[in-house]
């Protein structure tokens, strides 16, 4: 399920890294020096976000797919 969440990736001049945000999971974001590293880190963080939500008995949103339009 974790690979179905939308990930928004952008470059942060201030931090000098790519930022990967997962809008369907509040507060879920990662970064990386490369685009690929940001995506990889986001996949790990999504899994950890879901695991923590389960441990705390919180609702886990179902992935909705594409949320934003370019």
pLDDT at 1: 47
Domains of the chain, each with CATH number or no CATH: 2-56 (3.30.160.250)
* Higher-confidence position of 4 and 52: 52
Give the predicted TM-score (pTM) of the model.
Answer: 0.85
pLDDT above 90: residue 69: no
* Residue 7 CB neighbour total at 10 angstroms: 19
Of 32, 53, 55, 54, the C-alpha closest to 43 is 32
Note the pLDDT tens digit of each residue in 14-63: 999 999 999 999 999 999 999 999 999 999 999 999 999 999 999 999 99
């Amino acid at each position: 399920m974790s690979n179905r969440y939308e990930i928004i990736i952008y470059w942060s001049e201030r931090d000098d890294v790519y930022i990967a945000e997962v809008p369907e999971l509040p507060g879920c974001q990662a970064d990386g020096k490369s685009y690929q590293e940001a995506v990889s880190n986001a996949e790990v963080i999504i899994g950890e976000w879901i695991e923590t939500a389960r441990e705390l008995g919180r609702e886990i949103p179902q992935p909705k797919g594409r949320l934003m339009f370019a």
